[in-house]
Amino acid sequence: MGKSFVSGKKRSSAIAPARRAALEAIREQRLRSAHMRDLLRSSKAFAALSARDRALATRLALGVVATKGELQRVLKSHLRSKSHIEPKVGDALELATYELLFLDTPVPVAVSQGVELVGSVSPRARGLANAVLYQVTQIDRPQHKELQKKLLNMQSTLSDQELGWAIGCPTWLVARIRSAHGDQAVRNFMQAQMEPAPVFVAGNLGLHTVQETENLLSQAKLMPHVCELPNCYALGCPQRLSTSGLVQTGEIIPCDASAQCVALLCAPQPGVSFLEVGQGRGTKTELFLNDRLMLQTNQSLASESDIPFIGIDSEAFKVKVSRERLKYGWEGQTKSFAVDGLKLVDTGDCPKELQGKFDEVFVDAPCSGTGTLRRHPEIVWGLDPKSLDRKQTDSLPQLQIALLNVAATRVKCGGLLCYATCSVFKEEDEAIVKEFLASDVGKHFEVESVLKAPGVVLLDEAGKQELNKWVTPEGCFACLPSFNGPDGHFCIRLRNVQN
């Protein structure tokens, strides 16, 4: 297989702690088919790392998952056609190849550490690792670095395949984003994928004031930066968040700024009945409660008139998590149930809290998650393009329109129906709304601009200017991921105008 870089035999103790922890997480993710972020949150090995090592290990673990298909393509090109490598060896080779292609780690360091990683799981494969990584360094690294340089150079034109290679993304996904949003938008989107997602948080206003929240973040040395949204902070040192204890105690809510904006634009007025379909683990529920409290303060309203929020989710374990986290500061203000949103059409078997209609229904629809690829790397190579085909049985658009149609039946006359996704594809966003409005159920609804949302009054002038950048002519909120900026999210407000 040609020349090599590393000769002799080194002890596995030379492996950097961050790389060792990342390799273990990658192996665990492969064996359990789990979400990498979930594994990292519960990893004792990650918790024991220094803040700096934890940041590197996180980037390595998430990066390998996000670029897995490209890493495997590159490695396969340097292996004999019928050769077979053990999965644990493949894990280590993928980690080293990721560093060589997508990070700025010095070549000798990435190669030597890669060989040591392979040797730690299979000593006899050290020679193979040495030879393969030499080929990656000589052939693939220069190609990828040149493509990445062109991606950052706004004057260069790259094909879908070249963009995919530059960031380790499937060509079909690049082509679909380009088709939906154009050349400049796809370039901005891909540039955003080159760096880790920034970390945004909100304070739990059920426990602390805004000033108290800022003090907590500063005391934890998280370097908070106040954003244009109320009670929203970008963290300059996010690697300290997991060990700060602030998330575990419910005092801080990790949530992307765009998702916080969606909550602000869909938050109900104080004193109205509210149903959340697709509550998940309760993150947006907490944001809605925050926003309602801020609106009460803004309007000088008493909290005694509060009506408990009702949330449902089809997955019982998420409902359990939601109930537990909503105890922190919001006891008695929410009720959560394990109910499939599609079954709301028949209320006979539903809890009494789900009987009747609501002033507002919010649908947080299951979607491709393509606006959140940096945070959910499994989506990049795990998403099947067929899942976006409206004509396919059990596709995402099929489920989305079905949920919207059912949820609409639970909205009072004059009430509001909100629909949201974290997708950047029109098939899951505008196309769903268009189909709904043309249906028998949807013909009684009209689009109401998000700029009319009660929460807009909570924004200062800078916040309103930032919001206006992402409001479409039709009145939807539709943002795309940006370099060192928030994720891509979509939401729309639909008013029931039936008498």
Q: What is the pTM of this model?
A: 0.93
User: Do 320 and 296 touch, CB atoms closer than 8 A?
Assistant: no
pLDDT digits (tens, 9 = 90+) for 242-276: 889 999 999 999 999 999 999 999 999 999 999 99
Q: What are the distances in angstroms from CA 449 to CA 400, 401, 416, 474, 499?
A: 21, 20, 12, 7, 21
pLDDT digits (tens, 9 = 90+) for 65-114: 999 999 999 999 999 877 789 999 999 999 999 999 999 999 999 999 99
User: Do 118 and 15 touch, CB atoms closer than 8 A?
Assistant: no
At residue 153, the pLDDT reads 86
pLDDT digits (tens, 9 = 90+) for 305-350: 578 999 999 999 999 999 999 999 999 999 999 999 998 877 677 8
> Any bridge partners for residue 450, and if so which?
none
The answer, yes or no, to whether residue 132 has pLDDT greater than 60, is yes
Six-digit token pair at 56?
A: 């590197």
**Confidence class of residue 5 from pLDDT cuts 50, 70 and 90?**
low
Residue of 429 and 44 predicted with greater confidence: 429
Residue corresponding to tokens 């499939």: 340
User: Do 23 and 61 touch, CB atoms closer than 8 A?
Assistant: no
Mean pLDDT, to the nearest integer, of 144-158?
A: 88
**CA 474 – CA 448 distance, rounded (Å):** 9
pLDDT digits (tens, 9 = 90+) for 452-464: 999 999 999 999 9
Six-digit token pair at 480?
A: 């795309």
**Domains of the chain: residue spans and CATH:** 12-152 (1.10.940.10), 259-496 (3.40.50.150)
Question: What does the angle CA 309 – CA 314 – CA 317 come to, to the nearest 5 degrees?
Answer: 90
Q: What is the mean pLDDT of the chain?
A: 93
Mean pLDDT, to the nearest integer, of 372-398?
A: 95
**CA 481 – CA 453 distance, rounded (Å):** 23
Report the Cα–Cα distance between both ends of the chain, in Å, rounded.
76
Six-digit token pair at 427?
A: 């098939």
> Any bridge partners for residue 253, and if so which?
202
